[in-house]
Amino acid sequence: MQASGGGTRDLTVETVSELGEFGLVERITRALPTTDVVLVGPGDDAAEISVGGTLVVSTDVLVDQRHFRRDWSTAHEVGRKSAASNLSDINAMGGHATALTLGLAVPGDLPVAWVDELVRGVVEECALVGAAVVGGDVTASDTLVIAVTVVGEATRTVRRSGAQVGDVVAVAGTLGLAGAGFAALSRGFRSPRAAVEAHRVPHPPYGSGETGADAGATAMIDVSDGLLGDLGHVARASGVQIDLSSEHVPIESAVITVAEALGRHPVSFVLTGGDDYALAATFPPEAALPDDWYPIGAVVAVPAGDQPRVTVDGLPWDGETGHEHFR
């Protein structure tokens, strides 16, 4: 049976509860490839990984119906997105990922085939950066939850707190597509394809974190919750104001199509849409931007009586700046 994101489950298919915890763990680990940096992989109390440079670590948790929907996405797509959201964090530090652990809290009636496809998606996404799945955990839960921890290394890490007045603000990757795809799916549409697929499986600009670090980036962040919201973290951490130029922010044709259909301005998706996992960074004005980065604004001093924030064309943004949990 081919695993899918929705539809009626074939009752003849083995479920997680029928296979059991240890059977599920063994099934998952049998399918995992390895790499040269993995000294001890799945099967012990912890993995052993050989790491050079600075160790960088990040964790994300994805919850069914909040971060993904099984009626919108296949298990394979959910797996790729689960890995991508974490691998992107290492990218945003100017590093590259080497290993990943996968924690699964799953309902007992979940088909084992769904888990197989999820793991296949995680492994395929990790392969894009040369990382290996080295362990994890499985437990029972009424709600499907996926927890991923990724380990990487960096020769030179880039934090959020280093932006300086006069720096150029630049972006690597695509903005607005995933947000437009979410909006389309929320209205029952399955097109435009480029936007819908970007929501289901993001395409972080892997490697751009390292090229940005090598070019002298002073601050960097990945765009998971919206460009305005995420650059706001940089502005506050660095004690500066960031001004974006709307005319320099590229807009994909699929974003324009969704915006026209929903009566929204397309730039709103670019500025506030999340889940694309593009990178945003600041660079000294004399730095030569790598080919995979393009300028969209500047770092300026915080006006007297004001506070660190992001403006658009010199003005405050009127509306939400992106996604925020518990709001």
What's the CA gap between 206 and 96, in Å, rounded? 8
Please say which residue of 139, 154, 169 terminates a domain: 154
Q: Say if 326 falls within a structural domain.
A: no
Binned at pLDDT 50, 70 and 90, residue 3 comes out as very low
> Is 265 annotated to bind ligand?
no
Could you tell me the CATH number of the domain that includes residue 77? 3.30.1330.10
Please say which residue of 107, 122, 154 terminates a domain: 154
What's the CA gap between 327 and 325, in Å, rounded? 5
**pLDDT tens digits, 204-226:** 999 999 999 999 999 999 999 99
Same domain, residue pair 52 and 186? no
Residue 325, pLDDT > 70, answer no
> Is 203 annotated to bind ligand?
no
Q: Say if 76 falls within a structural domain.
A: yes
pTM: 0.87
Lowest mean pLDDT among 18-22, 75-79, 237-241, 262-266: 18-22
> Is 71 annotated to bind ligand?
no
Same domain, residue pair 128 and 174? no
Q: Say if 67 falls within a structural domain.
A: yes
Domain that holds residue 210: 160-316
Same domain, residue pair 121 and 23? yes
DSSP of 21-90: HHHHHHHHHHT----TTEEE-BTBSS-EE---SEEEEEEEEEEBTTTB-TTTS-HHHHHHHHHHHHHHHH
Helix H, strand E, coil C: the string for 131-200 is CEEEEEEEEECCCCEEEEEEEEEECCCCCHHHCCCCCEEEEECCCCHHHHHHHHHHCCCCCCHHHHHHHH
> Which residues make beta-bridge pairs with 148?
60, 102
Tally of domains within the chain: 2
Please say which residue of 123, 154, 185 terminates a domain: 154
Residue 6, pLDDT > 90, answer no
Structure tokens at 86: 């974490």
Q: What is the pLDDT of residue 8?
A: 41
Binned at pLDDT 50, 70 and 90, residue 284 comes out as very high
Q: Say if 226 falls within a structural domain.
A: yes
> Is 246 annotated to bind ligand?
no
Q: Say if 324 falls within a structural domain.
A: no
Q: Say if 138 falls within a structural domain.
A: yes
> Is 222 annotated to bind ligand?
yes
> Is 136 annotated to bind ligand?
yes
Neighbour-count burial for 90-122, b at 16+ CB within 10 Å, e otherwise: bbbbbbbbbbbbbbbbbeeebbbbbbbbbbbbb
Q: Say if 4 falls within a structural domain.
A: no
> Is 45 annotated to bind ligand?
yes
Q: Which residue is it, tokens 């919750």?
A: 225
> Is 292 annotated to bind ligand?
no
> Is 67 annotated to bind ligand?
yes
